[in-house]
Structures are given as structure tokens and as C-alpha cells.
């Protein structure tokens, strides 16, 4: 069991390197910051239509490439809760919050922290604390997840 | 065209990394946030793996005026911490904790995330549609 956990850490690190590589490629070649919420949000609210093609191509890769790797695994499951009310509230919070903050785990987290950007670091501290608090309340106090 | 090809490759590598790292699995993300439960440190390895190469890539990028395809490199944002950064990050964190999904993995898992994943993505997009209105209200409130 402990061996399995350590393997998760190694694959986590390997996957992390791939994520960093993707962010680096997007920055050095396209000159863009790889932020998932900004890339999608700019399409959804119209603020990023001037480079819509680049955004759509990125999202197409993000959506279409993972299923090509799924056959390499025994099972791939997001284990998302069956409670659709929780899913909807969570989705709305993530959508509104990331756009207000101008970034999420990829933009503020990966790209912001590595640039030693004060905004990225502060955002990451707040979403980690809020996530931990939401988890503690929803799981250990309310028992809804 | 070249721009879209490299954009697709970047998105694909990002999605592959999210799958390989386990970040498309909400139990791993919630396990990281659940400090009072069965804590799972995997997310720290993922973030570390992503931040280390990017730290060096930023050093290269900041020495250049334009990217390989001629786009000006993104300017360093003013180190200004507005209320929207804090309020938005708190709201995002709450949603992230509740579902265990952030925007990248929500899109990367669309093909195998089932109904729950699709509902999350639609709700997230709806949140992004109303966000500019929410921002206006908060700004008006802060100015008053």
C-alpha cells in the first residue's frame, strides 16, 4: 500500500513536469501564459475573441489528447460526487472566482509562482486556504461530500 | 496556422500531464485539501514538477522581447493586490474543494468524466458568463 502511494507521488511529479513543459512551450512559442480559466473564460465572455483560434486549438488539445492515453490505464475515473447540487454550486464558484481573480491553479499557480509573481503567490495562498476550509466544513462538519 | 498547431500541442501536453499526474481524479485533489482526514501530498509533487521547469523557462522568456512566433512576451503584471484577486481566489478555492476540480482538469476529463463532469463544466462556463457582472457589483460596492 505504501509503495502504491509513493508511485502516485512519482507519477505526480512526472505529470507535473509535463504540465510545466506545456506551459513553457506555450510561453516560448506562442508568447502566452497558460491559464486554463483565462483561455476558456475569454471565449465564453467574448473578451478574448481577438485570438479565438489559438484558444480553441489549446482547448481542443486539452480535451482530445487525454482520451488517447486512457487505454494505457486499467481504469480512469474522476470520482466526482453524484450530488449534482454540489457539482453545480462548485462549478459556479470556480467559474466566477477564477474570472474575478484572473486566474486559477495553472495561471496563478504554475505560471505565477514560477515567475515569483506576488499576485500569483497571494492568489494561491487564498485558494488553498479556502479549499481546505471548504473541504473541512463540507466533509467533516456538514458531511455532504 | 503554426500558432494554432503549437497551441494544440501545448493543450494536449497539458491534458496528458493532468491525466498522468492524477489531477483529473477528484479524490487526489480533495485528499490534498483534506488536512483533517487522510491527507494525500501528491498535489505538491505535481505543482513542484510544473514549477521547477517553468522557473527556468521564465528566466529565458524574460530576456526576450518576443516569442518564437513573434508575439510580445507577457508583461509582468503590476504587483497590485486588489479585492477581486482575494475574493475571486476564495470563491474559486471553495468550489475547487467542494468538487475537487479546477478548470484545466475539468476540460481534460470531459471525455471520461460522465454526467457529473459535464454538469460541472457547464456550471463553470455559466459562472464565467456572469463573472463580469459580479465584478461590476463588487467594484461599485468597494467604491461606495
CA-closest candidate to residue B107, choices A118, A12, A32, A61: A61
Q: In B, which residues are within 8 Å of A18 by CB distance?
A: 13-14, 16-17, 20-21, 49
When divided into structural domains, chain B yields a total of 1
Span A117-128, average pLDDT: 98
What mean pLDDT value characterizes chain A?
Answer: 96
Residue A17, pLDDT > 80, answer: yes
Per-window interface: B 63-122 vs A, CB < 8 A: 66-74, 76-77, 79-81, 84-117, 119-122
Given the C-alpha cell 489549446, which residue does it identify? A58
Q: Which residues pair with B66 in a beta bridge?
A: B72
pLDDT digits 0-9 by tens, B83-134: 999 999 999 999 999 999 999 999 999 999 999 999 999 999 999 999 999 9
- Out of A23, A37, A57, the one facing B4 most closely (by C-beta) is A57
Categorize the per-residue pLDDT at A3 as very low, low, confident or very high, splitting at 50, 70 and 90.
Answer: low
pLDDT digits 0-9 by tens, B5-56: 999 999 999 999 999 999 999 999 999 999 999 999 999 999 999 999 999 9
Whether B42 sits inside 8 A of A9 (CB atoms) is: yes
Q: In B, which residues are within 8 Å of A9 by CB distance?
A: 41-42, 45
Q: Which domain holds residue A127?
A: 2-141
When divided into structural domains, chain A yields a total of 1
Given the C-alpha cell 461590476, which residue does it identify? B136
pLDDT at residue A1, rounded to an integer: 44
Residue A72, pLDDT > 90, answer: yes
pLDDT at residue A56, rounded to an integer: 98
Q: Which domain holds residue B40?
A: 2-143
Are B26 and B101 in contact by the 8 Å Cβ rule? The answer is yes
Distance, CA of A65 to CA of B13 (rounded, Å): 8
Report helix, strand and coil shares of chain B as percent, to nearest 5.
70, 0, 30
For this complex, say whether ipTM is above 0.90: yes
Amino acid at each position: 500500500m505504501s509503495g502504491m502511494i509513493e508511485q502516485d507521488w512519482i507519477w505526480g511529479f512526472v505529470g507535473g513536469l509535463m504540465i510545466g513543459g506545456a506551459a513553457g512551450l506555450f510561453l516560448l512559442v506562442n508568447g502566452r501564459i497558460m491559464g486554463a480559466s483565462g483561455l476558456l473564460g475569454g471565449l465564453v465572455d467574448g473578451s478574448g475573441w481577438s485570438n479565438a483560434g489559438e484558444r480553441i486549438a489549446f482547448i481542443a488539445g486539452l480535451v482530445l489528447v487525454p482520451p488517447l492515453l486512457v487505454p494505457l490505464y486499467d481504469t480512469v475515473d474522476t470520482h466526482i460526487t453524484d450530488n449534482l447540487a454540489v457539482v453545480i454550486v462548485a462549478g459556479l464558484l470556480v467559474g466566477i472566482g477564477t474570472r474575478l481573480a484572473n486566474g486559477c491553479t495553472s495561471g496563478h499557480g504554475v505560471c505565477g509562482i514560477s515567475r515569483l509573481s506576488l499576485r500569483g503567490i497571494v492568489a494561491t495562498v487564498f485558494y488553498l486556504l479556502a479549499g481546505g476550509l471548504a473541504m473541512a466544513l463540507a466533509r467533516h462538519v456538514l458531511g455532504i461530500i | 496556422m503554426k500558432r494554432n498547431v503549437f497551441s494544440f500541442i501545448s493543450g494536449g501536453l497539458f491534458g496528458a500531464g493532468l491525466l498522468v499526474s492524477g489531477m483529473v481524479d477528484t479524490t487526489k485533489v480533495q485528499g490534498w485539501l483534506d488536512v483533517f482526514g487522510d491527507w494525500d501530498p501528491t498535489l505538491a509533487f505535481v505543482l513542484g514538477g510544473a514549477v521547477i521547469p517553468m522557473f527556468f523557462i521564465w528566466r529565458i522568456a524574460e530576456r526576450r522581447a518576443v516569442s518564437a512566433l513573434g508575439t510580445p512576451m507577457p508583461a509582468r503584471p503590476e504587483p497590485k493586490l486588489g479585492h477581486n484577486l482575494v475574493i475571486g481566489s476564495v470563491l474559486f478555492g471553495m468550489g475547487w474543494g467542494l468538487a475537487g476540480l479546477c478548470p484545466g482538469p475539468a476540460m481534460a476529463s470531459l471525455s471520461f468524466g460522465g454526467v457529473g463532469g459535464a454538469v460541472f463544466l457547464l456550471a463553470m462556463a455559466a459562472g464565467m458568463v456572469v463573472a463580469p457582472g459580479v465584478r461590476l457589483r463588487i467594484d461599485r460596492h468597494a467604491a461606495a
